[in-house]
Structure 1
């Protein structure tokens, strides 16, 4: 049975990780929606932009329209602010949402409420009242995400200014030590099945863009077990912790959702979005973590929407399909994409030896090509392309591209530009 999943807002870093984790899942059909034009439309093949924001009275009705149109089985939140809204409106939603009960969603959304609920566990940082501070201290909005609004406070004047700002803050002891995220997965009844700690090595806009696993840490494992027993969160969730001046880890926050950098531990065997779906649908599952050194580093990547219509591809062999003596991975992926879509590919080459033998040596099936044209007489490659044909031409040689562009008037590409031709949405 295929589960139709709606991710909202799908263009967030969380939504992009959910897509990466589920795009190959054979029992999941992904759908995405966002309130603004974002990267989700380049990633989700089934995508819709709505007008309602997370705090809009229209959000539930607009999500319900998508749920009905797409026969959605489960709504997955991809932003902290969406979780309490979905939790509070579970009865109105036409499909269940991957969120905790309203009271628990509210506790996790507000750090003061989180600290109050978990105070008895001995893992919460010491709170600091105005006028009693031994500076520096740490200040952070009680409701927020990432590191937005967080700062070190070094004096009473700044402390008082923040306290009187009209924004609810958490004022706590300053934690100068190492910071961690602990990715957790729990069963449908809230039993913790696994907790995997990772270092927050480099952080950008509150997102851990460089992270790596940490060795087994009994203190962090004990924190995970204590939080899980108290909150009984199910599916995927995480918490963040930082060591105090004595080296003791203290809690920063708990979030009942997917984290964008859960990809690190997903690579080591735990698909948090998929297992989270299983937990919320009441399906039994087990975890099989793997343990080996791994570092994840993130940077901006590109997705493309090329408005090109073509019915045939003409492709060069040397330094195009084969680069530095080996098949070029992106071009190979395109060959299979075109084959699946029924777009014929013609190999046009001036190869020094027999092209079929070279293809066989590199384990490239000659049947991927409609035909192979081996030019030996110095004639232009443009002569192979019929006038007026809806086609594209790919060749590393500028001279060949210039000839085809001027003679046939079709789009031409060097190897560095073929990535725009790949369809990677799911």
Structure 2
């Protein structure tokens, strides 16, 4: 099949990075990212487009369609609930397919009041109040997400004095554990995947630690009821929390990719890719596997430096080899530099037979443009051409000497990550 050109918008948030990781290595996908506000997208998306207007601006659709036509985009994937709703309402004005449900479904999922009204009568819907009739209770924005601007009200003294209840939902307090349940609905409306994951730790409303759990009859029933009442296309998820009796109650539903769908992807369900194929009219079949996964993540740093270089001089002992093992980030960097057409020079004072040591660690000599094995007492700077070069070495005195002699950037082993290019 011809490559499907996919545009992720906006492309700077955590869930857009999950979309990138799920799609960027697929041979049938050519991936693009676009944003109105530049954040992290340019560090990950090879094809990155900045400067789109906000969806609230009059010329947004015009600019979006310009990008779609210029790059022959086949499908656009929105990453924010408000963008999902906007795209759904304006699908007739967008010159490509968009990975969103119909307008009715998008609106139901965007507003909790509509979600609860649509599913009214089911036992998994929490108690909803019109006023502060019972304590404790929980207040959350009707169109919010990620736990932002939510309040637990334990008694009358904690009632916010300046809050417009028309924009909030008041519901029973749910003290128990919380789950996110990733789902997939095919083009015929059949629910093919229900994959619950426990939210063991969150940061800024985002699950950063969790594990998959077995699908209970209760969770499956909730997923099937939701799928029956709302029309989905491809991936979606819902969140549930246990009440004081231990029963699951619905918090919210969303039709965008969740950043922690990476956990479900680790089980073999690439929901973004399956959703693209579904939107393009193809039949998909999930592969169900029998193993469990735990996930824990923290912040990751990616860098850009304003120094152009063509040559990399890198040490061997305690730089490429650390404590008798190959240091994988160093090898990543070496392969990356070769991919970018840069020259990699191995420069070392290694004692013994260097060729045999390279063979021992299964490191090919062909990875290096030149191997400089120093057996005299001349400084490493003597053997280097400093023109558009950098130097990597664990030894401070070596770095100091090269920097003083050639005035080029030098890096310790811990700073190898500064040079890594994550763009795919």
Q: TM-score range by the shorter chain?
A: over 0.9
Task: Indicate the residue corresponding to 1:183 in structure 2.
Answer: 182
Q: Distance in 2 between matches of 1:120 and 1:165?
A: 27
- Cα deviation for residue 150 of structure 1 reads 1.3
Aligned-residue Cα RMSD (Å) equals 1.7
Task: Indicate the residue corresponding to 1:197 in structure 2.
Answer: 196
Residues 342 and 49 of structure 1: CA distance in aligned 2, closer, same or farther (over 3 Å): closer
Structure 1 residues 43-52 or 7-16, which shifts more? 43-52
Q: Distance in 2 between matches of 1:157 and 1:400?
A: 66
Task: Give the TM-score normalised by structure 2.
Answer: 0.96
1:254-293, aligned counterparts within 5 Å? 254-293=253-292
**Match for 1:394 among 380, 392, 395?**
392
Q: Which runs of 5+ in 1 are unaligned?
A: none
Q: What's the CA shift string for 1:184-239, capped at 9, x where partnerless?
A: 11211221101111111112221111111123321111111111122131211000
Q: Distance in 1 between matches of 2:57 and 2:116?
A: 28
Contact 1:130 1:160 in 2 (8 A): no
Q: What's the CA shift string for 1:74-103, capped at 9, x where partnerless?
A: 110111110110001111111111011111
Structure 1 residues 364-373 or 105-114, which shifts more? 364-373
Q: Distance in 2 between matches of 1:318 and 1:397?
A: 10
Q: Distance in 2 between matches of 1:79 and 1:16?
A: 13
1:365-380, aligned counterparts within 5 Å? 365-380=364-379
1:3-402, aligned counterparts within 5 Å? 3-130=4-131, 133-156=133-156, 161=161, 165=164, 167-386=166-385, 388-402=386-400
- Cα deviation for residue 158 of structure 1 reads 5.2
Q: Distance in 1 between matches of 2:88 and 2:312?
A: 50
Contact 2:102 2:231 in 1 (8 A): no
Q: Distance in 1 between matches of 2:51 and 2:59?
A: 10
Q: Distance in 2 between matches of 1:13 and 1:167?
A: 30
**Match for 1:415 among 390, 413, 416?**
413
Contact 1:30 1:44 in 2 (8 A): yes
Equivalent pairs counted in the alignment come to: 423
Q: What's the CA shift string for 1:35-70, capped at 9, x where partnerless?
A: 112111212121122252233232212211211222
Q: What's the CA shift string for 1:83-139, capped at 9, x where partnerless?
A: 1100011111111110111111111110110111111333211212326x2311111
Contact 1:6 1:74 in 2 (8 A): yes
Q: Secondary structure at the match of 1:183?
A: strand
Contact 1:190 1:234 in 2 (8 A): yes
Q: Distance in 1 between matches of 2:390 and 2:248?
A: 58
Q: Distance in 1 between matches of 2:373 and 2:230?
A: 68
Q: Secondary structure at the match of 1:144?
A: coil
Q: Distance in 2 between matches of 1:227 and 1:405?
A: 63
Contact 2:77 2:99 in 1 (8 A): yes
Task: Indicate the residue corresponding to 1:404 in structure 2.
Answer: 402
Contact 1:191 1:229 in 2 (8 A): no
Q: Distance in 1 between matches of 2:208 and 2:336?
A: 31
Contact 1:5 1:31 in 2 (8 A): yes
Q: Which runs of 5+ in 2 are unaligned?
A: none
- Cα deviation for residue 160 of structure 1 reads 8.0
- Cα deviation for residue 171 of structure 1 reads 1.3
Q: What's the CA shift string for 1:355-392, capped at 9, x where partnerless?
A: 11111111111111122221112221111113x52211
